[in-house]
Amino acid sequence: MAKSRPLYPSWQRLLAELGENIKLARLRRRLSTEQVAERAAISRPTLSQIEKGEPSVAMGNYLKVLAVLGLEKDLAQVGRDDKLGRKLQDAELPVRERAPKHSSDT
């Protein structure tokens, strides 16, 4: 089995920030770790890993927790305003050639 590569430090910080935001959302809703874990059908240790931003936790488990907190639609915002992607896409749009003109045989 291949070893997974470690994440870049900046990516790890992003995951840690996501985990902290999930934890803050849970606390704002006054939900315990037991309540969220039970509602998300995950274990408390898995929830703890999510709140720490652990990269080894399956994305589906992150989504389950977000759904329990009512934040699952936030994932739909990822890439919505992708300015760089749109510029790259526009730069490589093929230029349509004009159709040949039809000559009339009269």
7 or 51, higher pLDDT: 51
18 or 79, higher pLDDT: 18
The predicted-structure confidence for 26-72, as pLDDT tens digits, reads as follows 999 999 999 999 999 999 999 999 999 999 999 999 999 999 999 99
**What are the residues whose beta carbons fall under 8 Å from the beta carbon of 74, sequence distance 6 or more?**
66
Helices 59-68 + 33-40 axis angle, to 10: 120
What is the per-residue pLDDT for 100? 73
47 contacts 37 by C-beta, under 8 angstroms: yes
* CA dist., res. 81 & res. 84, Å (int): 9
What is the per-residue pLDDT for 30? 97
